[in-house]
Amino acid sequence: KQEVTQIPAALSVPEGENLVLNCSFTDSAIYNLQWFRQDPGKGLTSLLLIQSSQREQTSGRLNASLDKSSGRSTLYIAASQPGDSATYLCAVIQGGYNKLIFGAGTRLAVHP
């Protein structure tokens, strides 16, 4: 059974720091991996999607990498801002019908 783990569970950093969020998964047979953002009391917003054949994806200050063989992904946030404060969720797709398997998330707080 696929298990997705995110470390750390919570992170508090000062504004301007570069930071790395980690995601690991136990079964490397995945179709893709996605990173989502969730603001308190809100739904999820997709940030980056990495296909299994890709190594990384970039969007603005965000960069996500994927190493399928080791079962790891990292989300790099450059020059963090208070507006980046949210919970970041990692999810993999395995099997048909695009079913997502989520990690428990990393709660990020960026303070001025």
Partner 1 sequence: DAGITQSPRHKVTETGTPVTLRCHQTENHRYMYWYRQDPGHGLRLIHYSYGVKDTDKGEVSDGYSVSRSKTEDFLLTLESATSSQTSVYFCAIGLRSEETQYFGPGTRLLVL
Provide the binding-site residues for partner 1, judged by CB under 8 A.
4, 31-32, 34, 36, 41-46, 49, 51, 89, 91, 93, 96-105
Q: What is the gyration radius of the CA atoms in the chain, in angstroms?
A: 13
* Burial label, 33 (beta-carbon count in 10 A; 0-12, 13-18, 19+): buried
What whole-number distance in Å separates Cα of residue 32 and Cα of residue 17?
28
Give min distance, CB of 91 to partner 1, in A.
8
86 DSSP β-pair partners = 108
- Note whether 36 and 89 are within 8 A (CB): yes
Give min distance, CB of 5 to partner 1, in A.
10
Q: Nearer Cβ to partner 1, position 19 or 44? A: 44
Q: Nearer Cβ to partner 1, position 83 or 97? A: 97
Q: Nearer Cβ to partner 1, position 40 or 112? A: 40
Look at residue 83 and give its three-state secondary structure.
helix
Give min distance, CB of 16 to partner 1, in A.
29
Give min distance, CB of 67 to partner 1, in A.
19
